[in-house]
Structure 1
Amino acid sequence: MSVKVAVFVAGSWGTALSQVLADNGNEVVVWTRNEAQALEINERHSNEKYLPGVSLHAGIRATTSMEAAMNGAAACIIVAPSAAMRQVAAQMKPFWTDDMIAIHATKGFETETLERMSQVIEEELLCGEDRIAVLSGPSHAEEVVRQCPTTVVIASTSIQTAERAQDLFMNESYFRVYTNTDVLGVELAGALKNIIALGAGLSDGLGFGDNAKAALLTRGLAEIARLGVEMGANTVTFAGLAGVGDLVVTCTSTHSRNWRAGSMIGQGIPIPEVLERMGMVVEGIRTTKAAFKLSDQYHVQMPITEQLHHVLFEGLDPKTAVESLMGRVRKNEIEEVAKSNWT
């Protein structure tokens, strides 16, 4: 059944998800602050800044009016950067109705409060957590808009909300959707893997090869799971699409913003210049700051996050950071895995 869906905002991932929704026969209205971008989407059916060379579905409309986007919508898809999530959700509040659901696809934290995106949305929309879902998993926007086979997970504390979101996005040709009720685990996995992707890019930028990157991914997953389990997430979530799946794709693909940023840092390019070259949000940098605080708050060892924090915010040389990781006290891998509650 076709319904109206409002999408916030018109970046690469928001645009790609709009394409899936439109392919599924839904009425899709994308909200953007940029009048020129709205005009481009409506008249040229393109979004060249974020997805160059892609022809958008003719049924996707764009507007700069929040009211026009939300009026009559059954669901709101929020893909704002983590730093803008509270502001966007607050602007949505006057037009939010009791029959809507919110689905966010942003992988990060609010660094000031250390809140997850679903918590920020719940606070601003004044709605119950059962009306919020999170979409995550291994999914590059550049591949989704080309209809490359992609599989994601949608999590909500309400299985009914998760299934409503699943119905919106499920496409038998190229976009498969699973449901999950572990919102905490899915959000943590999606956000924290960006830190490891930064590290993987940094390792590649230093020319350290596949052995180093494989170790980084493996130990990075253990690090993510340690914090997640301590915070109350389900261990199994980290072995699924939101965990291993998203970690692998983000750490090994040149589509990954976090990998690209890490690679440039590893090559010695100053961080301000890296961010300028990227031209898009690199969530892993903000997430590193948040995760560093969370590791202290929950008394969880996160050595990769710690060393990246030193590199990003304290000026530590990347090679020195790697040496610190390699020189850590000797441990038994199986004992450490067992302590992480993976058994």
Structure 2
Amino acid sequence: MTKRKAAVLVAGSWGTALATVLTDNGFEVMMWSRNEEQVREINEDHTNHKFFTDVTLPHAIRATTLMEDAVTGAELVLFAAPSSAMRQVAQQAAPYIEQDALCVHATKGFETGSLKRMTTVLAEELKTDPMKLIVISGPSHAEEVVKRQPTTVVVASACQQSAELAQDAFITPFFRVYTNPDVIGVEVAGAIKNIIALGAGLSDGLGFGDNAKAALLTRGLAEITRLGIAMGANPPTFAGLAGVGDLVVTCTSKHSRNWRAGSMLAEGLPLDEVLERMGMVVEGVRTTNAARELSSAYNVVMPITEQLFSVLFEGKPPRTAVEDLMGRGKTHEMEDIAAP
């Protein structure tokens, strides 16, 4: 039986983890990377040690530095590039994507400058109907997915048929997939929760307790919901896997890059040094800047985002930021969640 082909762009931690899911469903996966040594390692050693030190990859996963080889003939193309690289990767892939290929992205962030969501970026570069594009999101650390630990996610598309095709491509006995038509809500939730995770790392790093963490997650969810609704999202999305589910896992797990970065910032390390030590993209940093601009554009109050922006980019001491959050004027909880 001829196996189906999927392309995964790029060979980072999340792309690699989702590639293993696709192989479990009978796909031959071709991953694309600019790094020749990484390509050699995947093809010869069946490992990707930069991201997973103790994982052997399925032999059905191959890698290449040639975009044409990666994408040509693929019936599913998964974009897992950082938000800052999404447009460039899409430009390179566009000439080789089959007309009826399923295009899915797994990136949580906004484009710097334009503040566009990733489906918008892909629609522009692939010259395709944005209604058919799909986003996969939810509480899903790559470190657990690649080891086939039970995980549940959501695939969102305005086209129900596209969503169901993606659901079929990814669902396995350990990787459960729901569908959702609310692309805006899923993308906004996936992006903004990284900001709250930075705050959670700061809180833990400063030695605050469970009370502070619970308050941060709850009020963070209110910020996510307010911005999402203003941008056209469906409110129930934020109570689901892409909303509260992803928020909880990212703010409480040792696997969370954003949590780790926040914890380092609490130690007094400058942002540049934190990012250098991480050695991987910390989407929450860029997203904090983007979310601050979006909050202004949509006239949405986002106090946690505002304080984290000051810590990240204006040198504000984390403890002072917490004091300023706690000292805000009185308000009513339910009105505060619903109001801009």
For Structure 1 versus Structure 2, the TM-score category normalised by the shorter chain is over 0.9
* SS in structure 1 at match of 2:53: coil
The separation in 1 between residues aligned to 2:155 and 2:3, in whole angstroms, is 20
Query: Are positions 1:243 and 2:240 aligned together?
Result: no
* 2:286 alignment partner in structure 1: 286
* SS in structure 2 at match of 1:61: strand
Which sections of structure 2, spanning at least 5 residues, go unmatched?
none
* 1:302 alignment partner in structure 2: 302
Q: Which amino acid in structure 2 is aligned with residue 265 of structure 1?
A: L
The separation in 1 between residues aligned to 2:335 and 2:37, in whole angstroms, is 57
Query: Are positions 1:226 and 2:226 aligned together?
Result: yes
The separation in 2 between residues aligned to 1:125 and 1:10, in whole angstroms, is 20
* SS in structure 2 at match of 1:76: strand
Runs of 4+ in 1 over 3 A off after TM superposition: 337-340
* 1:199 alignment partner in structure 2: 199
Taking the TM superposition and a 5 Å limit, the aligned residue runs for 1:320-335 are: 320-335=320-335
* 1:311 alignment partner in structure 2: 311
Does the C-alpha gap of structure 1 residues 235 and 306 become closer, same or farther in structure 2, counting only changes over 3 Å?
same
Cα offset for 1:130? 2.6
* 1:101 alignment partner in structure 2: 102
Cα offset for 1:38? 0.7
* 2:64 alignment partner in structure 1: 63
Q: Deviations over 1:247-301 (max 9, x none)?
A: 0000000100000000000111111110011000000000000000000011110
* 2:168 alignment partner in structure 1: 167
Cα offset for 1:97? 2.4
Cα offset for 1:2? 4.3
The separation in 2 between residues aligned to 1:131 and 1:51, in whole angstroms, is 32
The separation in 2 between residues aligned to 1:316 and 1:338, in whole angstroms, is 29
Cα offset for 1:336? 2.4
Does the C-alpha gap of structure 1 residues 113 and 225 become closer, same or farther in structure 2, counting only changes over 3 Å?
same
* 2:115 alignment partner in structure 1: 114
* 1:79 alignment partner in structure 2: 80
Across the aligned residues of Structure 1 and Structure 2, the Cα RMSD in angstroms comes to 1.0
Cα offset for 1:52? 1.2
Q: Which amino acid in structure 2 is aligned with residue 237 of structure 1?
A: T
* 1:181 alignment partner in structure 2: 181
The separation in 2 between residues aligned to 1:7 and 1:160, in whole angstroms, is 21
Q: Among the aligned pairs, what percent are the same residue?
A: 65
The separation in 1 between residues aligned to 2:255 and 2:138, in whole angstroms, is 15
The separation in 1 between residues aligned to 2:72 and 2:288, in whole angstroms, is 37
Taking the TM superposition and a 5 Å limit, the aligned residue runs for 1:8-157 are: 8-157=9-158
Cα offset for 1:331? 1.6
Contact 2:226 2:337 survives alignment (8 Å): no
Query: Are positions 1:276 and 2:276 aligned together?
Result: yes
The separation in 2 between residues aligned to 1:260 and 1:5, in whole angstroms, is 32
* SS in structure 2 at match of 1:301: coil
Cα offset for 1:338? 4.8
The separation in 1 between residues aligned to 2:327 and 2:39, in whole angstroms, is 52
Cα offset for 1:106? 0.3
The separation in 2 between residues aligned to 1:14 and 1:181, in whole angstroms, is 23
TM-score (structure 2 length as normaliser): 0.98
The separation in 1 between residues aligned to 2:145 and 2:20, in whole angstroms, is 8
The separation in 2 between residues aligned to 1:22 and 1:130, in whole angstroms, is 27
The separation in 2 between residues aligned to 1:233 and 1:170, in whole angstroms, is 25
The separation in 2 between residues aligned to 1:176 and 1:322, in whole angstroms, is 38
* SS in structure 2 at match of 1:110: coil
* 2:252 alignment partner in structure 1: 252
Contact 2:73 2:98 survives alignment (8 Å): no
Contact 2:74 2:98 survives alignment (8 Å): no
The separation in 2 between residues aligned to 1:337 and 1:274, in whole angstroms, is 32
Cα offset for 1:61? 0.6
Which sections of structure 1, spanning at least 5 residues, go unmatched?
none
The separation in 1 between residues aligned to 2:123 and 2:221, in whole angstroms, is 28
Cα offset for 1:135? 0.2
Deviating more after overlay: 10-19 vs 97-106: 97-106
The separation in 2 between residues aligned to 1:296 and 1:71, in whole angstroms, is 42
The separation in 1 between residues aligned to 2:49 and 2:337, in whole angstroms, is 45
The separation in 2 between residues aligned to 1:281 and 1:337, in whole angstroms, is 30
The separation in 1 between residues aligned to 2:339 and 2:120, in whole angstroms, is 29
